[in-house]
Structure 1
Amino acid sequence: MPTPRIVVLAGGVGGSRFVRGARAALRGRGVTTTEDALTVVVNTGDDLWLSGVRLQPDVDSIVYALAGVNDAGRGWGREGDSERVNHELQEWGAGWPWFTLGDLDLGTHLARTGWLREGLTPTRVIERMSRRWPLGARLLPMTDDEVDTIVVLRDGSRIHFQEWWTRHRAALDPARFENPGIEAAAAAPGVADAITGADVVLIAPSNPVVSIGPILDVPGVREALSATSARVIGVSPIIGGRVVRGMADVCLSAIGVETSASAVAAHYGARAQGGLLDAWLVAEEDADSASVIEGRGIRTLVAPLWMKDEAHSAALAEAALSAAGV
């Protein structure tokens, strides 16, 4: 069987684990040059400027995970990192005292910012970052434009997503999420072509609202998903009615979506009815919802979704590929 061309839409910790599993699944099939087979379109809605440097949290999480240098315990940042510079910034009253920048992590941000100042686009910056480690995947930002996520609270005030998520732990009641400028943005070079030329598109078990949502809202992405002949397979980020990590339930509630595998599938919609999904993977804990999802025109498969380690992540990715018939 020829090597399938896989595109993954991903962001956050769940996305990084799933992408690592997809690479392992390809290697389990005997594919050695996985970067030719695996393209990851990464959410950049989490990005921000802080202390004069450009941060791309989801990009870095996926880069570090594929490189094997991520802090698996925390779910973000570099393993074994120190925080001397972060403490010094706090002494100067700079940055955000509740937003930790590790020293090694800051090195990444400084390198990125320097390249951006020299005129490189985020796409080119990620290409340069990928030369350091054998990632086994081609990473593309969803767009080269800056479209940070802003949380509009019920009282009408507006704060950056990272402040709402990291400082307030999603405790402030959100009315909606916005990505200012996204209507005028364009998909990064290669994104639409990768999707339309894929054999399978996988939607990672990432936050549907603030990780996958911004990718889908970039002009050209939904059109590419509609045009592709590839099967579009999604993996539920909800297991047993609960989010796996983080506060995605608060995000879902803000847009009127119940925290359930069935409701998130309905949110994405059946491709045959103008939505996104050809098939949806749900956890064994949610097997009783399969018939409901099937009734919405989305083929539903039950599989173990807990990504406890790379082997479990690879098995999940393989299940998603099998669901697409590749």
Structure 2
Amino acid sequence: MRALDVLATLAAPTWMKLGDADFGLHIWRSWQLAAGNSLTKVTQGAAERLGARARVLPASDDPVRTKLRTTEGWMDFQPWFVGRRCEPKVLELRYEGAEHARPGAEALAAVENAQLIVFAPSNPLLSIEPILAVDGFRTAIGASRALKLGVSPLIGGKAVKGPLARLMDGLGMATTAIGVAERYNGLLDGFAIDAQDRPQEKELRARGLSVLSTDILMRDPDDAERLAAEVLAWATDLRDRSEKAAS
């Protein structure tokens, strides 16, 4: 934490508690961007050098900032999330710059060529909707011929961690799996929910969604691997049924 110590000595804000390894990555990324490289190229370069096995692509090379209108006025995401620990109640969300941002060519190609698109159980308001807000990206996903499945980030109306339930409540949304599925309206073929939320299964099916009811809590890497395998098996089953119905 030497970098934070130096910043504190210089009277700089130190509420973002990053370790020196994180500072190293951010300095390298800023250096690469300042040199004129695209965010896509910088992200792929970092992923390769750090040994990531997955291909990582940002939705856009253009800047998009999450802004929150709170009971104390408009705030940037990180000062609210980290600096204030999600304290001021959020009344409105805005993804500044999304209307002018262009989808990354490689990200669009990945969507167009995908056979399966999975909306992970991340916070839909803070992690996924900034991507969907990029002009043209939501349309591209909707037009994709890929099977599109989502995994609920709520269990029994509560988030495993993070401020999702409070955010949804502040924005007047139902803090349920159904409330999350509504945010992806028109994009999903199926939605995985926790067994605790099985009473919502009938309404989800009435909305035209296939439903997988299982244990979606990922306590450790083994749980994460199990859930991923279940979703992939579900996708295979849905695809097989669709092909049989079409034949």
2:168 matches 1:252: yes
Letter in 1 for 2:221: E
SS at match of 2:62: coil
Determine the structure 1 residue equivalent to 2:245: none
2:67 to 137, 150, 166: 150
SS at match of 2:3: helix
Structure having the higher Rg: 2
Determine the structure 2 residue equivalent to 1:282: 193
SS at match of 2:212: strand
- The CA deviation string for residues 257-305 of structure 1, in whole angstroms up to 9 with x for no partner, is 1211122112322xxxxx1110000011111211121111111111111
1:1-326 matches, within 5 Å, as 83-94=1-12, 96-155=13-72, 157-269=73-185, 275-325=186-236
TM-score, structure 1 length as denominator? 0.70
Report the CA distance between 1:213 and its aligned residue. Answer: 0.8
Report the CA distance between 1:99 and its aligned residue. Answer: 1.2
Residues 157 and 165 in structure 2, CA contact (< 8 A), matched pair in contact too: no
Report the CA distance between 1:250 and its aligned residue. Answer: 2.1
Letter in 2 for 1:311: D
Residues 186 and 219 in structure 1, CA contact (< 8 A), matched pair in contact too: yes
Distance 2:100 2:198 in 1: 41
TM-score, structure 2 length as denominator? 0.91
Distance 2:45 2:129 in 1: 27
Distance 1:284 1:258 in 2: 18
Distance 1:84 1:162 in 2: 22
Which one scores higher on RCO, CA 8 angstroms, separation ≥ 6? 1
Q: Alignment length, in residue pairs?
A: 237
Report the CA distance between 1:199 and its aligned residue. Answer: 0.7
Distance 2:183 2:234 in 1: 20
Distance 2:149 2:84 in 1: 33
Residues 194 and 216 in structure 2, CA contact (< 8 A), matched pair in contact too: yes
Determine the structure 2 residue equivalent to 1:25: none
Letter in 1 for 2:121: P
Residues 266 and 293 in structure 1, CA contact (< 8 A), matched pair in contact too: no
Moved over 6 A (4+): none
SS at match of 1:290: helix
Residues 279 and 323 in structure 1, CA contact (< 8 A), matched pair in contact too: no
Distance 1:267 1:222 in 2: 12
Distance 1:158 1:241 in 2: 27
Let me know the Cα RMSD of the aligned residues.
1.4
Letter in 1 for 2:4: N
- The CA deviation string for residues 46-72 of structure 1, in whole angstroms up to 9 with x for no partner, is xxxxxxxxxxxxxxxxxxxxxxxxxxx
SS at match of 1:312: helix
Report the CA distance between 1:172 and its aligned residue. Answer: 0.5
Distance 1:171 1:130 in 2: 33
